[in-house]
Structures are given as structure tokens and as C-alpha cells.
Amino acid sequence: MNIIDFILRSSETQRLPVAVYPGLLLSGGTVREITSDWALQLKAIKALQARYKSPFALTAMDLSVEAENFGAKVLFSENEVPTIDGRLLTNAEDIEKIKVPSPDKGRGIVQIKTLEALAKEKKSDEFILGGLIGPYSLAGRLFGISEFMEITLLEPEAAHCLIKKAVEHQIKYAKMFKEAGADAVFMAEPAAGLLWPEGLRDFSSVYVKEIAAELEDENFKIILHNCGCTIEHLDAVLASGISFFHFGKPTDVVKAVHTVPDNIIIAGNLDPMEMFVQASVEEMKSKAEELLSQTADKRNFVLSSGCDIPPNAKLANLDAFYAAEL
């Protein structure tokens, strides 16, 4: 069974928090270690698996991997998620010139190896997900998030040219996940949420569709994460044609799940900072239960965090997330 059918046929609402870094609270180690050593990342993920018995396992959301592979400079620190420093590309000529690297070099391998190890031990009705960045956001990380938004309007051809290069890279990278045994990839497109709806469609969804056409089949699916968009962007996001969407705090997920067809999955959207780091256990439980009750009539809803949960989250809150009941 594929991940979508599994969710749609479950009698209870499934839970899929975007959580790997909190695994460090159980396994020990630092963010820096698990983003550069697959065995340590595996250990953190397995610690979470052992505690929560979730049918889903996801590799770390390290959205610097692909841009680094293109040549961007990455800032590392012990306990913060690696991030891109400065702009690798600054004009249309740079965009034209940059070559698409092969994704089998660099730290992408850490992610692939982690996934491969998880897939090897997978039981039936378990699903292994690889984390990667979406095409628009990758282009934004190479050109500068702010500057890239500007060229979508001022030099749309250059913008499309860079996104196409990102697509080429992400198709290859996602294929590596697929070959390593992934059931799905979790593709994060955070920067696209700042675009206007038609812009989101033309500069992101169209390309997600292209990636999906290359990769999706009966047993491999794409989950699209967009933590910046609002309900006004819903049609533009759906234009990607895939069946599994993951939204953040700005999106009214209750409305979204009651708007989309029943075979389209909507996941979200408990805020990582507010709910997993700062809230009390009681607040977390009641917020999760509220969301469960508002979506109780829908089988196509998955309870999740709105974005990646940081390493300083509280385990007690993650416990409460899983313990919340209708």
C-alpha cells in the first residue's frame, strides 16, 4: 500500500510531525553531527521511532544541502540547522553560467545513506520519507531570497532558467532517495509562500508538477510543504497536481481540508516554536485536540507541526502531540 492509501484508509487521524532534531534529546549529539554523519542521524531517528512507534520516519530537514552542492557557502553551528551565507549568484549571467552539479557528491549522501538504512529495516505499513528542498526555494537560496522575488517580476526568464536548473538537480536527488527505498519525499518550498498566488503557481507549482511527473508512481509519492502560504494560495498550490500537502501556521488547514477533494491529503499545522518549544504540555494537548476535533469528519487530514521542529523543542510536548485524543 502506498502512503496516501494508508492514510486515507486509517481509522484514526495519522500523525506526522516534522521532527528529527528533537531526536537528539534522546540519542545525544548535536545538529552539526547529524547533518554530517548518517549513522548519527539514523540513531536520532531510531530513538524517535522507538519512543513513538510512528509508521512514518523522515530524514532531517537540512535545506542547505542542495545549495551547498551548487557551491553556496554554508554556516554551521553546533546546535542550529545549517544555513546559507550570502548569495552565490547575483545576476542573469551567473544564472546562465552555473552548471547543475551531480547530487551524489557532498552532504546529500548523508541524507541518502540515512534513508537507505531506515528503508532496509522497514516493516510493512511503515513509510520512509526523504527530506529535500523545493525548486523555487533552492533557486532563492542561490540568488538570495529577497532578490530572487524581485527577478520573478523584473527578469522572469532568468528566474525560470535558475528554477529549471534546480528542478534538474532535484529530480536526480529525489531519484536517489527513491532508489534508496523511499516511499515518498517531503519537499519543502518555504520561500514560495511569499509569492502572489499566480506567481506561486508559475514559479513553483508548475515545476513541482514536472518533478512529480518524473518520479511519482504507485509506490512513490511527493509531499509538498509550504509553510508560508495562506488559504488564498490553495488553488495555486493544488495546481502542482500531487495529492499530499503540508502547511504551516499562516494556512487555515481546517478550511483547506474541507475545501479539497477527499482524496487529497492536507497536513499541518501546529507551530513549531509556539507549540513544541514554548507551550505548556496542557496547551499543546488542547491545541492538538482542537485540531483533531475540527477535522474529525475528514480522513484526509494528518496532524502535524507547521514546519520543522527545532532541536530545542520539549520532548514532553512531542509526547503530548502523540497522546492527544479526540
Partner 1 sequence: MAELQKIKEAIMGGKREEVSRLVQAALTAGDSPVEILEGGMIPAMREIGDKFSRNEVYVPQMLIAARAMQAGLALVEPVLAQTGHQPLGKLCIGTVKGDLHDIGKNLVAIMLKGAGYEVVDLGVNCDINKYEEGIKQGANVVVCSALLTTTMPYMKDVVEHFKSKGVKVIIGGAPVTQNYADQIGADGYSEDANGAVKLVDRLLGKTA
Which residues of the shown chain bind ligand B12 in the complex (CB under 6 A)?
A: 81, 83, 145-146, 190-191, 193-194, 227-228, 248, 272-273, 306-307
**Closest distance of CB 20 from partner 1, Å:** 20
Contacts of residue 26, defined as CB under 8 A and 6 or more positions apart, other chains included, come to: 44, 47, 48, 51, 315
Q: Does the protein bind partner 1 through residue 91 (CB under 8 A)?
A: no
Query: Can you tell me which residue has the cell 544555513?
Result: 83
195, amino acid identity: L
Q: Does the protein bind partner 1 through residue 157 (CB under 8 A)?
A: no
Q: Does the protein bind partner 1 through residue 39 (CB under 8 A)?
A: no
Give CA angle at 172 (171, 178), nearest 5°.
85
CA torsion through residues 164, 170, 176, 179, sign: negative
**Closest distance of CB 152 from ligand B12, Å:** 14
Which range binds partner 1 by CB under 8 A, 15-23, 34-42, 192-200, 206-214? 192-200
Q: Is 302 exposed, middle or buried (0-12, 13-18, 19+ CB in 10 A)?
A: buried
How far is it, in rounded angstroms, from Cα 154 to Cα 200?
16
Residue 172: phi, psi to the nearest 5? -65, -40
Q: Does the protein bind partner 1 through residue 232 (CB under 8 A)?
A: yes
Could you tell which of partner 1, ligand B12, none binds residue 227, using a CB distance below 5 to 8 A set by kind?
ligand B12
Give whichever of 160 and 221 is closer to partner 1, judged by the CB atom: 160
Could you tell which of partner 1, ligand B12, none binds residue 196, using a CB distance below 5 to 8 A set by kind?
partner 1
CA dihedral 112, 220, 63, 227 (to 10 degrees): -160
Give whichever of 109 and 145 is closer to partner 1, judged by the CB atom: 145
Query: How many binding residues for partner 1 (CB under 8 A)?
Result: 16
Residues that bind partner 1 (CB under 8 A): 145-146, 149-150, 152-154, 194-196, 199, 232, 273-274, 277-278
